Amino acid sequence: MTTALDRTRPIWRQVAAAMTSRIAGGEYPVAARVPSVVELSTEFGIATSTAQKALAHLKSEGLIRAEVGLGSFVAKRPAGESEPPA
């Protein structure tokens, strides 16, 4: 499944925004593993370097954390978002 992207805007920003939205919406809850570079590349039909840039941005924003050999995981929800009730 390939997600449609606007090719007139930076692709990595669109992928990062989609991932941020998924985190905020609870699709990826705190501590959940997020898709790998290869998985994002396949889903969005993008180069691995573009997927790496999107994940690096999410990491720099503090939304995800990387664990060597395990992958990347949701670190927290975007500012202004609260954890849904259990």
Domain coordinates in residue numbering, the chain: 11-74
CATH number of this structure's domain 11-74, picked from the four choices 3.30.390.50, 3.40.1360.10, 1.10.3210.10, 1.10.10.10: 1.10.10.10
- The whole-chain average pLDDT of the chain stands at 89
Confidence grade of residue 79 (pLDDT, cut at 50, 70, 90): low
- For residue range 26-47, list pLDDT tens digits in order: 999 999 999 999 999 999 999 9
pTM, two decimal places: 0.83
Model confidence at 84: pLDDT above 60: no
> Which of 56-67 are b and which e, b meaning 16 or more Cβ less than 10 Å from the residue's Cβ?
ebbeeeebbeee
How far is residue 13 from each of residues 18, 36, 75, 82, measured CA to CA in Å? 9, 16, 19, 23
- How far apart (Å, rounded) are the C-alpha atoms in residues 86 and 79? 20
- How far apart (Å, rounded) are the C-alpha atoms in residues 14 and 32? 21
Confidence grade of residue 78 (pLDDT, cut at 50, 70, 90): low
